[in-house]
Amino acid sequence: MGLELYDAFPEAREVFDRADALLGFSLTEIMFGSGGEIYEEIETLKKTEFTQPALFTHSAAAMRVLESSDDRPDMTAGHSLGEYSALVAAGAIDFEEGLRIVRQRGLLMGKAGSRRAGTMAAVLGLDDSVVDHVCNRATSSDQVVVVANYNSVGQVVISGDVEAVERATILAKEAGARKAVILPVSGAFHSPLMEHAREGLEEVLMGLEIQPPTCPVYLNVTAQPATEAEEIRTRLIEQLTAPVRWSHTLTAMEEAGAGRFLEVGTGRVLTGLVRRTLGRETETAHAGTSADMQKILEAASISES
């Protein structure tokens, strides 16, 4: 994870090395599998306290390379953890402070998952309102399940107590879901089960210096743009127990004039969600590997010449 960028671009290498120094352990060894025990490092990387700084660092390294293309965003957004990368891209927070917060966020969410076991499930093929109703039916006096991610039309993720989520998957299938499957996660993210983590994150975020962003940042909680530092701080706190309104965010960005979506970081999941939400004709690009970067930088060089 990220090794191609590290080897190909000095700017990316600087970000990865800085992350190792700031964290006090070798994140890159876990990400790159350079310690010899690849399987053990993959299992470590799956733990949210390591997953979160790894994803954030990879995105930041890719963004650092992109800076040389002078291709600045007109607006940004990030899915869940990615919201912190979106804030870095918009100049609202710096990488160092962002990494510190993201590391604490991962530790807090991991502890919350240990305190009260929970899980998540993907539900495909149902309208949002139907999934909302399913969650209400599956929730009991002592077990809760809620929508965690409104990802795209017909693709929703639910989150909560294990038995409540299991009940919801059964009810979703009865309601006509094409698929309802439990996900391999370490906690019930974006649900009330993260309340303990939310309280801890609030303390951490009160010390975060947030600058006015250079462009609007569309926030998960509201699916609306924010430019004020205190609103951003408040929504980052709320985000841990509130759903990610990603499909609504994409629609709002398109309505505001977004015509090209560039996904920065690991994987192409968000690119797929853009196309499913806004249509396959929507212009998309990806910046996560060295090959991706070369294409973008070459295109930028041609346009400047």
Q: Which residues does the annotation mark as catalytic?
A: 80, 190
Q: CB–CB of 265/288 below 8 Å?
A: yes
Pairing of strands 283-287, 155-161: unpaired
Within a 13 Å sphere around the CA of 302, how many CA atoms are in the beta-carbon half? 6
Instruction: Give the helix ranges, DSSP H, for the chain.
Output: 3-8, 10-23, 27-32, 38-45, 48-66, 82-89, 95-115, 128-138, 162-174, 195-205, 229-239, 246-255, 269-278, 290-304
d(CA 19, CA 198): 24
d(CA 160, CA 163): 8
Contacts of 69 (CB under 8 A, 6+ apart): 296, 297, 300
